[in-house]
Every structure is written in structure tokens, then in C-alpha cells.
Amino acid sequence: MNKMIYRNSQKLIKLSLLAIIPAITLMCSTAHADEIDGFIQAKMADRKIPGMQLAVVRNNEIIKTASYGFSNLQHSVSVDKDTVFPIASMTKGFVGVAIMQLVEQGKIDLSQQISSYLPDLPQQWKSITVKQLLTHTSGLPHIFSGYMANLIDAKGPDASWQLVQKRPLESQANTKWSYVQTNYILLGKIIDRISGQPFETFIAQNQLQKVKMPTTEAAGFAGTQDVVAHQSMGYMYDQNRVLKSLSLTFPRYMAPAAGMNSTATELARYAIALQKGDLFEKSSSLQTLWSPGQLNNGNMVGRNNRQGYALGWEVIGRNDHPTVLIGGNGNSSLLIYPKDSLTIVLLGNLMGSDPKTFMNEIAGFYISDMKAENGFDLPRTIKPLFLALKTQSYENAIEVAMDLEKSQNIKFGINDVNDWGYMLMGQNKKAQALEIFRLNTVLYPENANAFDSLAEAYGALGNMEQAVKYYRKALKVNPDYANANNIRKMLKANGF
């Protein structure tokens, strides 16, 4: 199970017994539709995404832009090249660049304690370093209470900021990775103080104006709070699978973490400028920006052992086609494949639709060995099983896996199998994903997360009886596993 918020919201959707809403009309802005347009439209139809915007870069040239569907369903407004999307946490990538620009100016040292730049901090925060803020390894407490963007104090932003400073650290600095918005609040304050101007102005002058991103600059850093010309409406499905308008209002201090708005074309220009060296004086600065941190125990900082976290950017350091990326709100992503001179930007307006899960497939239209059917991005231990199942039914996955374990001494890791299952889900191969998740429950019968993922697959296939059965099995195996409380609430809300 992916434990991010949007995945939890998708579980709510998939357990609902209500009818699916009518399919959303899709429209493409390109004069001559191609295979990529058809591919994206199919993904939108499957995930019920109202609108999307695409830009593709090859060899530092924008070679394709397209718009699909609706930016505003209430008024039937189509997405076009000028539609502006809130990009949420993609903002962190710009903050990372801003910090590195100040490093080049000799005003910030990544290894310096943040108390050197912000002296009025709680005592337990003072020894945290700038780099630990950037890489989410500070151990700082959360300023959000959990689901969506609810602050920890109902009295509002000021009360929440005072309260978070009184809470204990969640872990010792640089001992674990935890995605905490408090980190980027402090980075915004550091930029304010060290640059001598609001961080919004510093980013506008040193990045947006250099790249010629006038729409992004004009939209500002208030997310969905201010009125922005041509801004797309945001959407999400509630637990009853009813499509709702989504408007997240953040306090100003959250802007460095999630405040920006942009278009796919302007973000494509940004990716070009970044790779051409237009935003840094030294080539080593980009390398530092995209280098994952390292924990005290020597492990790479990041979501897992394949996806590291650098300075506001995530890094997938595979041998073939390594990728750096920024994503926001589970609906928009920018992926750069540096060795392939390829960049893909895909912005959407449905929270939790997670286009990142199928953007490698878009890359496959340009680089054939990146196609999903060729097993791209599968873990090394999974590849033999993938190749074997290409000629056999996925219903034989358990038997084939057991044979490979014996004949080739392969150990199938629980996370690798789980990730493969979600890759198949992202490719709309739900029946195959079900068999892979079932395999994980056989390999790891004492792991609640394995049963949780199997339940999600049943839900995606519309088999609610089996979904409920395996969610309950997950709770029985471990009543206190990470997603247990969410599952209990979900079952109760749906009358199970």
C-alpha cells in the first residue's frame, strides 16, 4: 500500500458501493492527435480525471504540448495552453534551487545549523542543518494534523505555528526520512532573512524572470487562495465517490512548501534552463541539488531504497534512465531523464490521480526500452518473474515464483512485489496486479500491508466483499499497522 494521503482517499473511493459517475468528456488541443494523446485520454477516462496539460522536451526543445478535458466542470471550461494549475509541492523544487543560488553567493552553507540564520528558534531546533530541512531529515514535528491540510490547532495559522514549536522532535536529526511541511516553512523564512527580500520576490527575480515564466510569476505563491486568471479548479472524490471541488487554503508561511501555480509549457522551459545551467553559476550546484542525502546509518534518504530525496527533488537512481522529479498534490509531476535529454510535464486537477505512475510509459513512446511491456523500472529480482509470466498466466504467479525461488535462489522482497503490483495497477492491469498482491500474501502471511494491498486490488475490481475480507485480515494480522486506523474508519463509514 502507498501510504500517501491520496492513496488513502482512493481506498475510500474504491470501497464505495455507489455507481460510478458518468465519464468525463475529453478533448485534445493538438491539431493532429497521436498515440500519446490516446494514451493519456485512456488514463484520464480510467481514473476519471477532469483535465490535464502536457509538455514534452527532447534535447532542450519543447516538441509537444497538449491540453485535455476540462479545467472547470461547473462551467464546461476546457483546458487550454493558458490554463494555470496549482502545482502544490512542486514548489519545493524551486525552493531547493533558491537555496543553492544563495549557497553560490556565499550566503548559506548547507551544513550550517539553522540557528545561524534564524536565531529565534526553539532550543531543540537550533542544531538542525539547512540540508536536513531540504531533505526532510530534521526530525521536526508536523504542522498538519493528518488528512488534507488541517493545521494542528483549530484556532488557525498563528496558533498552529506557536504550537508546533512547543512539540518534541519526532526523531533525532538525520536518523530517518519523514515528509514534514515544517521543514519548508523554515526554508522560506531563511530565504526571507538571508536574501533581504520576501522569498517570493527572490524566486521571481532569480528564477521565473530568468526563464521567462510570466504566467507563473503573475499567478503568485498563494496556491488556490487568491484569484488567478485561467486557474483550473481542483477536484477530488469523497468516500461516496462523489466528485467534489477542492480548494485548499494555506497560511502564507506554507507558500514555500506548496504555493505556486504554473503551466506545463512554462515548467518545461524551467527544466530546460535548469539543465542548460541558466540558473546556476557552477555545474556542481545542479549535481548537489539532485544528490540524495545520506542518513547517519549510511542509508540513502528517501521514500525507499530506489527513490531518494535530494534538495526539494526526488531521485530515482536506476542504472538505465535515471530520473529526477518534483510532484504535487498527487495530481501533477515534472520528470527529467537527464541521460536521455527527455523531460515530461503532466499537470492535472484531480487530487490523488497520481500521473507519476504512468509518466514512464509516456517516455516509452520516445525510448522503446522504457515501455512497460518490456519490464522497465522493475526491481532486479522481479525481472525473472516478469519474463516468466509473459509466457504464462498471471494466475500461475505463485507457482512460478516458488519455482524461481528454488531454481535460481531468488528472494522476492515484500516492497519490490508490492511496488510491482502498484505499477500494474497504474497500467490498468488490475487482474494481473491482484495476482501479484496475492503472491505477496503467500510470501509474507504475517505482513498486514500485503493483505491491505490485496484488498485494494479487489476494491479496484469492484469485488467489495473480498476487499472487506482482506482489509479485515490485515487488521487481524496486525491491529496497529500503519494504515489500521484509516481502514477502521473507512469500513465503519461504509457500513462494514
What single-letter DSSP state applies at residue 429?
A: -
Between CA 380 and CA 424, with CA 444 as vertex, the angle to 5 degrees is 50
78: β partners:
70
Task: Provide, rounded to the nearest whole percent, the portion of the chain with pLDDT above 70.
Answer: 93
In the predicted structure, residue 187 carries a pLDDT above the cut 50:
yes
CA distance 454 to 1: 9
- Pick the most confident of 246-255, 278-287, 361-370, 404-413: 278-287
In the predicted structure, residue 33 carries a pLDDT above the cut 80:
no
Element (H, E) at 58: strand 51-58
Q: What is the pLDDT of residue 251?
A: 86
Please choose, from the candidates 233, 337, 268, 339, the residue with its C-alpha nearest in 3D space to the C-alpha of residue 90: 268
| Shared-domain flag, residues 29 and 68 | yes
The band of 247, judged by pLDDT with boundaries at 50, 70 and 90, is confident
For the domain that residue 214 is a member of, what is the CATH number?
A: 3.40.710.10
Q: What's the distance, CA 449 to chain centroid?
A: 20
CA distance 242 to 316: 35
| Shared-domain flag, residues 322 and 470 | no
For the stretch 447-488, pLDDT in tens is 999 999 999 999 999 999 999 999 999 999 999 988 888 889
Residue range 160-181: mean pLDDT, rounded: 96
The band of 26, judged by pLDDT with boundaries at 50, 70 and 90, is very low
Between CA 132 and CA 161, with CA 148 as vertex, the angle to 5 degrees is 55
Q: How far is CA 23 from CA 41, 197, 350, 412, in A?
A: 11, 47, 14, 39
In the predicted structure, residue 8 carries a pLDDT above the cut 60:
no
Pairing type for strands 323-328 and 314-316 reads antiparallel
243: β partners:
237
Amino acid, single-letter form, for residue 271: A
Residue range 82-109: mean pLDDT, rounded: 97
Of the residues 370, 401, 428, the one at which a domain ends: 370
Pairing type for strands 342-348 and 51-58 reads antiparallel
| Shared-domain flag, residues 403 and 298 | no
Q: What is the pLDDT of residue 319?
A: 80
Q: What is the largest CA-CA distance in the chain?
A: 65
Q: What phi and psi, each to the nearest 5 degrees, are found at residue 285?
A: -65, -40
In the predicted structure, residue 6 carries a pLDDT above the cut 60:
no
**Domain annotation covers residue 131:** no
CB–CB of 248/289 below 8 Å? Answer: no
| Shared-domain flag, residues 352 and 451 | no
Map residue 87 onto helix, strand or coil. Answer: strand
Between CA 220 and CA 214, with CA 211 as vertex, the angle to 5 degrees is 40
Q: Between 44 and 10, name the one with better pLDDT.
A: 44
Q: What is the pLDDT of residue 24?
A: 42
| Shared-domain flag, residues 239 and 328 | yes
CA distance 490 to 495: 9
In the predicted structure, residue 12 carries a pLDDT above the cut 80:
no
| Shared-domain flag, residues 348 and 389 | no
Q: What is the pLDDT of residue 127?
A: 97
Residue range 311-331: mean pLDDT, rounded: 93
Q: What is the pLDDT of residue 147?
A: 58
| Shared-domain flag, residues 271 and 420 | no
**Domain annotation covers residue 56:** yes
C-alpha cell, 406? 528454488
C-alpha cell, 424? 500494474
| Shared-domain flag, residues 389 and 416 | yes
Which of 254-258, 310-314, 369-373, 472-476 bottoms out in mean pLDDT, i.e. has the lowest? 369-373
In the predicted structure, residue 366 carries a pLDDT above the cut 80:
yes
**Domain annotation covers residue 163:** no
CA distance 272 to 214: 16
**Domain annotation covers residue 230:** yes
The band of 148, judged by pLDDT with boundaries at 50, 70 and 90, is low
Residues whose CB falls within 8 Å of the CB of residue 15, separated by 6 or more in sequence, listed in order: 239, 459, 464, 467, 468, 490, 491, 494, 496
Map residue 151 onto helix, strand or coil. Answer: strand
C-alpha cell, 486? 484509516
**Domain annotation covers residue 59:** yes
Q: What's the distance, CA 135 to chain centroid?
A: 15
Q: What's the distance, CA 76 to chain centroid?
A: 28
In the predicted structure, residue 272 carries a pLDDT above the cut 80:
yes
Structural domain range at position 343: 22-92+198-370
| Shared-domain flag, residues 362 and 406 | no
| Shared-domain flag, residues 478 and 418 | yes
Residues whose CB falls within 8 Å of the CB of residue 181, separated by 6 or more in sequence, listed in order: 142, 143, 144, 254, 257, 258
Q: Between 13 and 289, name the one with better pLDDT.
A: 289
**Number of domains forming the structure of the chain:** 2
Residues whose CB falls within 8 Å of the CB of residue 278, separated by 6 or more in sequence, listed in order: 210, 211
For the domain that residue 384 is a member of, what is the CATH number?
A: 1.25.40.10
| Shared-domain flag, residues 416 and 351 | no
CA distance 119 to 432: 55
Which residue stretches of 88-171 are H helix?
91-104, 130-134, 157-164
**Domain annotation covers residue 123:** no
Map residue 269 onto helix, strand or coil. Answer: helix
In the predicted structure, residue 10 carries a pLDDT above the cut 60:
no
CA dihedral (215, 220, 224, 229) positive or negative: negative
For the chain, what is the radius of gyration of the CA atoms?
Answer: 22
**Domain annotation covers residue 395:** yes
Instruction: Give the chain's end-to-end CA distance (angstroms, integer).
Output: 20
Map residue 335 onto helix, strand or coil. Answer: strand
Q: In what order do the strands lie in the sheet with 307-309?
A: 77-78, 61-72, 51-58, 342-348, 332-337, 323-328, 314-316, 307-309
**Domain annotation covers residue 111:** no
Give this prediction's pTM: 0.81
Of the residues 316, 346, 370, the one at which a domain ends: 370
| Shared-domain flag, residues 275 and 347 | yes
Please choose, from the candidates 485, 366, 468, 491, the residue with its C-alpha nearest in 3D space to the C-alpha of residue 34: 366
Of the residues 370, 386, 411, the one at which a domain ends: 370
CA distance 279 to 286: 9
